[in-house]
Structure 1
């Protein structure tokens, strides 16, 4: 179970070596946010597409809110492009070799042209793969989502926006139904398991620490890039 990548393909390579050495054959769940902020979004997407080409794969890649923002831009470049660009879309565009429009261009038309250039650089196969990313994955009483969940609702009844963007009580209210939510999205200093939550986003693009968890028989073992220690 691997936290937010944000364009850190070098850390993904490093973590893959750890997994191959210690946990070969285990199912692997990526918690979303593969793009933006880091410099190698395209490389990360290409690696994940190759590793999980279809739903039968033992590698599960969930959708994060940054993938959702990118798809929203592709669907409607006139609405909200600045939000995506402000939160890391510039780095994603650069990774695909797509320049920003000239500053004196008409905004609506310029963003449409930007969308067209990005869609061409990504190609239909990659865009289709992104559109088909699930919002959650479950095994037993473990639920894997990108951002969080409403602690007052059963996991089967969660709002998709909450799974992608989080909930204001998620980090402070204990779940009482025995379900554990494994998530990224919110950067923490150290990955941890507490009160029905397992947090794995350690800001890899900024810290160089991509974190993961091996979960089995009610035990959680954390590991990350940059160290051989397990904790």
Structure 2
């Protein structure tokens, strides 16, 4: 699979930055209608306690056609750790990676902290040996999805360039911030992105962040912290509402037409 994926116009629900919160993902999935496809914009692991469960479910849904997924920066950080565990393990563990590796060994039920008991090299070797297909799935994820007049990406693109594919570096799809959302969007597309929590974007009074031109939409609700998991519903080419999942089986649906 290449970096960029184009799909036909269809009804979708868009999620980003699940961060190991299987409880929130499971609740949101129950709201998805039979004819809708989920577009998942990355950061399936780190911070939450159920990264393994989330990645397994994402893989299952992608392979069954229920979802289409792109890669996030935390997914790449996990892969980078597995490929070179001695590089900066303490930094990765401090960014939520400690919870991720714990989940791959059975979570907190095993009764000890994996990142303290085992060396980074052993952890990486174990995970690569136990879950090769899951890791290959993460490696192969694209960086963007295009649908009709929409572009879906984890962090953003060089949106002030009409030729954004040639001007955006591979790592910028995963990491870019202000040079994306504070700049004009000249791509000709409406862009939905995650990565930067809406709480950290310029002030807004809408259920997801929207720039003043109305063509950039920040949908990260902060599920990896104390926020919520957002699900943006697009039907017939229009954004019509947002699910906001706060806890397991606790959610709101906010009509929101754009």
Give the TM-score, by structure 2 length.
0.78
Alignment of 1:52-201 (within 5 A): 52-53=62-63, 57-97=65-105, 99-102=114-117, 110-121=119-130, 123-153=131-161, 154-157=163-166, 158-189=168-199, 190-194=207-211, 195=213, 196-201=215-220
Deviations along 1:119-151, whole A, 9 cap, x unmatched? 234x11101111111111101221111011112
Paired position in structure 1 for 2:53? 43
Higher share of residues assigned strand:
2
Native 8 Å contact 2:101 2:123 kept in 1: no
User: RMSD of aligned C-alpha atoms?
Assistant: 2.0
Instruction: Indicate conservation of the 8 Å contact 1:150/1:167, yes or no.
Output: no
Q: Give the conservation status (yes or no) of the 8 Å contact 2:160–2:187.
A: no
Superposition deviation, residue 101 in structure 1 = 4.4
- CA deviation string 1:165-201 (max 9, x = no partner): 0143212112123222211001114413333211110
TM-score by length of 1: 0.87
Aligned length: 219
Deviation string 1:73-130 (CA, Å, 9 cap, x unpaired) is 111122232322111000001111271244xx9xxxx322221123234x11101111
Distance 1:167 1:101 in 2: 33
Check conservation: 2:72, 2:174, Cα contact below 8 A.
Answer: yes
Asked if the contact 2:47–2:99 (Cα under 8 Å) also holds between the matched residues in 1, the reply is yes
Which position in structure 1 is the counterpart of 2:254? Answer: 229
* Structure 1: runs of 5 or more not aligned: none
Structure-2 change in CA distance of 1:149 and 1:160 (3 Å): same
Mapped to 2, the partners of 1:187 and 1:92 lie a distance apart of: 20
| Counterpart residue number, 1:13 | 26
Contact 1:101–1:114 (CA under 8 A) maintained in structure 2: no
Q: Gapped runs of 5+ residues in structure 2?
A: 1-13, 107-113, 200-206, 246-250
Residue 225 of structure 2 corresponds to residue 206 of structure 1: yes
Measured in 2, the distance between the counterparts of 1:176 and 1:130 equals 30
